[in-house]
Amino acid sequence: MAQVVTLVPSLPAIPTLFSQSFTTGMAGLTSNQTARLNVLNLNTVSAAVANVNTVPAATATAPANCNVQLQFFDAKNNSLGQTLVTNFAPGTATSFDLPRTAVASATEARVEIRGVVTVNPALPTTSSAPTPGYCSVKTTLEIFDDTSGSTVVLTSDTTPTGIVTLSGILTGIATAQ
């Protein structure tokens, strides 16, 4: 006998939220240098949204924005600084700088650092940030000379870390008949 599965639409829809972190490799930072973690939101803005003058407003739907957290860590996994960017729009970029002078172990001539980007990190319950959508990101870590502004190190090699966190529920309950 065949089994029929139906969805009972008795529960309200709750948005599903994906969270994923990406880390760079370690890079050396020395005097008169700054590390910059760059992130580009790879989601595209549709032509309908980009040219709202020629498309009726009712049909122009922007892709969902996301939230990103940019962090720096030392070789012992101590946090060196972080920033949260909410409402990160498609096709835009953001960055976070870590000057060598901001690293507490200033007695050492060189420190090893890495950058971590988290898409849709857990936010404090008091946050007024909008419910985010998911975005695909491209991350780079650069180290530049403070005097000349010249980039001395650049890497776009990142590795996903941890597991993808998924929260939310479907809009119904599956029942077998």
* Beta-bridge partner residues of 72: 81, 115
Q: What is the pTM of this model?
A: 0.74
Residue 121 has pLDDT above 90, yes or no: no
Domain ranges of the chain: 5-44+62-176
pLDDT at position 132, please? 72
Q: Which CATH number fits domain 5-44+62-176: 2.60.40.4070, 3.40.50.360, 1.10.10.410, 3.40.50.300?
A: 2.60.40.4070
Helices (H) and strands (E) in the chain, counts: 1, 12
Mean pLDDT within 165-176: 46
Question: Is pLDDT above 90 for 127?
Answer: no
Which secondary-structure segment (H or E) carries 139? strand 137-145
Choose the weakest-confidence range: 52-56, 71-75, 103-107, 157-161: 52-56
pLDDT greater than 50 at residue 22: yes
165 sits in which H/E element = strand 158-167
Using a pLDDT cut of 90, give the percent of the chain over it.
48
Using only C-alpha atoms, the chain has a radius of gyration, in whole angstroms, of 21
- Reduce the DSSP state of residue 170 to 3 states and report it: coil
Beta strand pairing status for 17-24 and 110-119?
antiparallel
